[in-house]
Structure 1
Amino acid sequence: MRKVLIAGLSLALIASVPGSAQVADTAALSAQKVALDKFAWMDGTWRGPAVKKGPGGEHRVTQTERIGPMLGGTLRVIEGKGFNPDGSVGFNAFAVISWDAQKQAYDFRSYAQGRAGDFMIRPTADGYVWEIPAGPMIIRYTATLKDETWTEIGERIAPGQPAVPFFEMHLKRVGDTAWPNGGAMTPN
């Protein structure tokens, strides 16, 4: 009898966990939405030229970005795709920007070229800055929105050395997008 009682209580406890896990933290959701509104200017579809400079010379692509809010505006999701001159995809990335109310900091989770990482991102008065630690170096991307053009510059920054630019893109907003919410599943 005791084993049956313990099993029954255990089952009741386990069954109650999913219900309590689904209770929304409205204060956290509100803080996340307010924080992510600083990136709302990015929403939509964008296209323009981009160039990456490396040891083998310059590589030019037509860069596209598709950006939208998710989970009620508490996240921003981003897909970046670079098309080679022949139309093939030369670069493809996916990222999520979120706000951590406990840390009072943004998180930028990026997936690209077989790699993934969590990086620092911060909004600025006219765009944002995000950084990738690379040993003693920092890779810094600085984005600005001016005259309806999204410009982003990538620089390698080594201690005691001047910044070395290696990436630049100039995108124009080409439209709205229902992505990622468009076409979402419904109960019927």
Structure 2
Amino acid sequence: MRVLSALVLPVTLAAAAAPALAQSPPDPAARVAKQQAAMKALSWMDGVWRGPAVTTRPGGVKVTITQTERSGPLLGGAVHVVEGRGYNADGSTGFNALGIISYDPDKDAYSMRSYAMGQAGDFPMTLTPTGAVWTIPAGPATIRYTITAKDGVWHEVGERVVEGQPPMAFFEMTLKRIGDSDWPAAGAIPPN
């Protein structure tokens, strides 16, 4: 009986693996083309932005900074890179973040990989007719950032959302597009 089991297991595993081996991997060119097409919806972000941002800290203390964003495509337009930098009144950097926005054709979904204040994570992003919304789970709450873009103005509101309670705004920025940028694609290393 033991000999029969030893023979049946490899035959069963080989039969189960045959369909998987017969499938070819996804066509990378087709996947990249889908990503590039999806990321065109974020082309409004391209360029350099500046304006005031106000954060309400615990206790109701409001802190105002000058917020800047620089944003552009990378990997042939398959991803979008955004750097946010907030300047204190004395010119020092009070906030710095990096976001990489991508699109997964298999899930038909956008996400943002964010790095800020010593933290990192992957967060869902949904496009809207006027911009985008991205969310961060935070225990019993969700942190929701709603971006609207119109006529060269990037307006973003951050809210703490707890089910059954009205959203509590803690962040708002209103940036104006101040120019084009070849960042992040500029400066690629040439072959020679």
TM range (shorter): 0.7 to 0.9
Residue matched to 2:181 = 177
Give per-residue Cα distances to partners, 1:84-123, cap 9 Å, x unaligned: 0000000000010001111211111000000000001011
Secondary structure, aligned partner of 2:76: coil
- Give distance in 1, aligned partners of 2:118 and 2:27: 34
Distance 1:176 1:162, change over 3 A: same
**Superposed CA RMSD:** 1.4
> Which one of 7, 23, 26 corresponds to residue 29 of structure 2?
26
TM-score by length of 1: 0.86
Distance 1:38 1:85, change over 3 A: same
Residue matched to 2:135 = 131
> What are the within-5 Å matches in structure 2 for residues 59-138 of structure 1?
59-138=63-142
Secondary structure, aligned partner of 1:182: coil
- Give distance in 1, aligned partners of 2:153 and 2:164: 32
Which amino acid is 2:70 matched to?
R
Runs of 5+ consecutive residues of structure 1 not aligned to the other structure? 1-20
- Give distance in 2, aligned partners of 1:92 and 1:148: 22
Runs of 5+ consecutive residues of structure 2 not aligned to the other structure? 1-24
Residue matched to 2:57 = 54
TM-score by length of 2: 0.84
Which amino acid is 2:29 matched to?
T
The answer to whether structure 1 residue 159 and structure 2 residue 176 are counterparts is no
Distance 1:179 1:24, change over 3 A: farther
1:147 CA drift (Å): 3.0
1:83 CA drift (Å): 0.2
Identity among equivalent pairs (%): 54
1:143 CA drift (Å): 0.5
Moved more, 115-124 or 52-61: 52-61
1:24 CA drift (Å): 6.5
1:149 CA drift (Å): 1.1
Secondary structure, aligned partner of 1:63: strand
Which amino acid is 2:162 matched to?
A
Secondary structure, aligned partner of 2:103: strand
- Give distance in 2, aligned partners of 1:80 and 1:24: 34
1:77 CA drift (Å): 0.3
Give runs of ≥4 in structure 1 deviating > 2 Å. Answer: none
